[in-house]
Amino acid sequence: MTDKRRPVHVPVLVGASAALYAASLAGVTALQSAADRATIEARAPAAAAVDRLAARNEAVAKALDGLRGRMDATGTDYGAAADALGSVEVRLGDLATTVADVAGQVAALPDRIALPSVPRAPAGRAAPSVHAVTGASGK
Amino acid sequence: MIGAAAEAAGAAAVPGAASLSFSGRAMASPLTLTIARRSPGNEDDLRGAEVAWAAVVDEFARCEDAMSRFRDDSEITRLNRLAGWASLTVGGRLVHALVASDRARRLTGGRFDPRVINALERIGYEGAVVPLTAVVQTDRVVDLDRRAGMVRLPAPVDLGGIGKGLALRWAARRVEEALPGFGFLLDAGGDLVGRAPAGDGPTWRIGIEDPRLPPGEEGPPLAVAELSRGAVATSSVRRNRWRSGDGRDVHHLIDPRTNEPAPTDLFAVTVAHADPAWAEVWAKALFIEGLATIGPDARARGLAAWWVEADGTLAMTPAARERTIWSG
């Protein structure tokens, strides 16, 4: 009887190849991991600085929001004051008109008014009796 | 100075039921106190009136002791003799008068100024002997050292008019203390202070003398004014006119700005005021002001003032017109 023998070198080669591949893959992975770790370590300070900048940026943004709110309020107040000033200006204008009218009327008044003569005492009426007389001292 | 009490029976009906009158002389003038009685025959009224008159006599005597430049022993004469170089301790009345004079000089813009004694002496209106002084170098009438209680005069002063006004003020106050609520009229040679009786009764009627009448001659008043409370004083050249040593017609109302008798474009000025001293001050200041500006000035100050112009015309301010009940 004939014993049919299978060749063993094929699985050995496949196995060896696979092992070599695995070893290579492991080596590459290890190298890659080391390189990544080095890169991460090198970039860590920059990342921290970026985080700090981001935080400050956020704070500045918040402050700007607050300032914007106050500016809006100030703008509102200014608008109200401007309205009030406008009202005062209108009233001042009215007052100026009134003053000008009065000044014009005063200027139109005569300097002197001739009053009718009035008798200081009824004719023939004698001086009433008095209690004392004021006059030159040293009598 | 001796007072005599009498029931008044004058031509005018005195405010109140009747009147008591006392008379004497003080400060070279007649002095009369008239009191309106509340009920005739009331002995309490009489006793109170006698107390009031005694207070008036005492007050005028004290004022004369303090302020008469005609008396050799008065406080003002002693102070005048030290003017310009020494201080003296004097009584409260004189200090008050000097301070009031200083204020009056400022308020009248210098038209009232008691430092005219040199001018008065020069034209012959002489008092007690006081050495003539150099030109006044200061605006102040008096220098006070209140801490030491000393007074110094930069120049001698004549307190005649304001002195009588202050005497009237203080005497009236003492009458009111002696006779609270009574009407009274105190007349010191034509300068008056009075108060009408409480209530809505009649007021005192004061005649304004016609200054054109010769001295000593009586005549009807130019106007009659009412006095309910306050004082009336007149500055006039009807009396106290004479011919000076250099032949000029002069009078006793000196303009302090020129040290000469004020130009006589007015015969007399009468002022009614709440206070007799200020009535005196303004009457004199307005007289010195002269006819040109007396009207506007008196009106601007709200004074009740009457003045007689050189032609005899009587003019008055609106405040005076309110008080005038008759004018001829």
Rounded to an integer, the average pLDDT of B253-257 is: 87
Nearest to B236 among A120, A126, A136 (CB): A136
Determine which of B70, B224, B273 to mutate to test the interface with A (most A C-beta atoms within 10 Å): B224
What's the confidence (pLDDT) of residue B181? 86
The beta-carbon neighbor of A130 closest among B215, B221, B270 is B221
Please give the pLDDT value at position A17: 93
Instruction: Pick the more confident residue, A124 or B31.
Output: B31
Our CA angle for A119, A121, A123, nearest 5°, is 85
Name the minimum distance, in Å, from the CA of B74 to any CA of chain A.
19
Mutate to test the interface with B, among A115, A118, A129, A137 (most CBs of B within 10 A): A137
Mean pLDDT of B225-239: 92
User: Is the Cβ–Cβ distance between B114 and B154 less than 8 Å?
Assistant: no
Q: Any idea which of B51-60, B248-257, B290-299, B301-310 has the lowest mean pLDDT? A: B248-257
The pLDDT > 90 percentage for chain B reads: 59
Q: Token pair for residue B324?
A: 């005038």
Residue B117: pLDDT band by 50, 70, 90 thresholds?
A: confident
- A90: CB partners within 8 A, 6+ apart: none
The pLDDT of residue B6 is above 70: no
Q: What are phi and psi of A81, to 5 degrees?
A: -65, -40
Answer whether B191 touches A (CB < 8 Å): yes
CB-hemisphere CA count at 13 Å for B174?
A: 20
Burial B271-287 (b: 16+ CB within 10 A, else e): bbbebbbbbbbbbbbbb
Q: pLDDT band at B134, cuts 50/70/90?
A: low
Instruction: Tell me which of B164, B234, B269 to substitute to probe the interface with A (most A C-beta atoms closer than 10 Å).
Output: B234
Q: Under an 8 A CB cutoff, do A135 and B190 touch?
A: yes
Instruction: Check A136 against B192: CB less than 8 A apart.
Output: no
Contact B32 A132 (CB under 8 A): yes
pLDDT range class, residue B5, cuts 50, 70, 90: very low
Q: What is the pLDDT of residues A38-76, one digit of tens each?
A: 999 999 999 999 999 999 999 999 999 999 999 999 999
**Phi and psi dihedrals of B260, rounded to 5?**
-130, 160
Check whether B7 has a pLDDT greater than 80.
no
Positions of chain A with pLDDT under 70: 1-4, 110-124, 138-139
- Chain center to CA of A67: 4
Residues 146-175 of chain B with CB under 8 A from chain A are: 161, 164
Across all residues in chain A, what is the average pLDDT?
86
Chain A residues close to B234, C-beta within 8 Å: 134-137
Confidence of residue B315 (pLDDT cuts 50, 70, 90): very high
Which is more confident, A117 or B202?
Answer: B202
Put simply, the answer to whether B209 touches A135 (Cβ < 8 Å) is yes
Residue environment code for A87-104, b if the CB has 16+ CB neighbours within 10 A, otherwise e: eeeeeeeeeeeeeeeeee
Which chain A residues have a beta carbon less than 8 Å from that of B231? none
Q: Are B154 and B143 in contact (CB under 8 A)?
A: yes
CA distance A101 to chain B (A): 27
Measured distance between the N- and C-terminal CA atoms of chain B, rounded to whole angstroms: 36
Q: Is the pLDDT of residue B277 over 60?
A: yes
Q: E strands within B190-281?
A: 191-195, 204-208, 223-227, 229-236, 241-243, 249-251, 254-255, 260-261, 266-273
What predicted TM-score, i.e. pTM, was given to this entire model?
0.72
What residue in B sits closest to A118 (Cα-Cα)? B327
Interface pTM, i.e. ipTM: 0.86
- Please identify which residue in the block is written with the tokens 């004018």: B327
Instruction: Report residue B1's pLDDT band, with 50, 70 and 90 as the boundaries.
Output: very low
Chain A 98-137, residues with CB within 8 Å of chain B CB atoms? 120-121, 125-137
> What pLDDT sits at residue B8?
43
Residue in chain A closest to B217 (alpha carbons) equals A139
Tokens of B229: 């409370």
Between A118 and B264, the higher pLDDT residue: B264
Q: What is the pLDDT of residues B145-187, one digit of tens each?
A: 888 879 999 999 999 889 999 999 999 999 999 998 899 999 9
pLDDT of residue B3: 43
Mean pLDDT of B130-137: 65
- Of B23-27, B29-33, B65-69, B135-139, where does mean pLDDT reach its minimum? B135-139
Q: Which residue has the higher pLDDT, B138 or B275?
A: B275
Report pLDDT for B119.
84
**Chain B nearest-CA residue for A134:** B190
Q: Tell me what pLDDT residue B317 has.
A: 93
pLDDT in tens, B282-313: 999 999 999 989 999 999 999 999 999 988 88
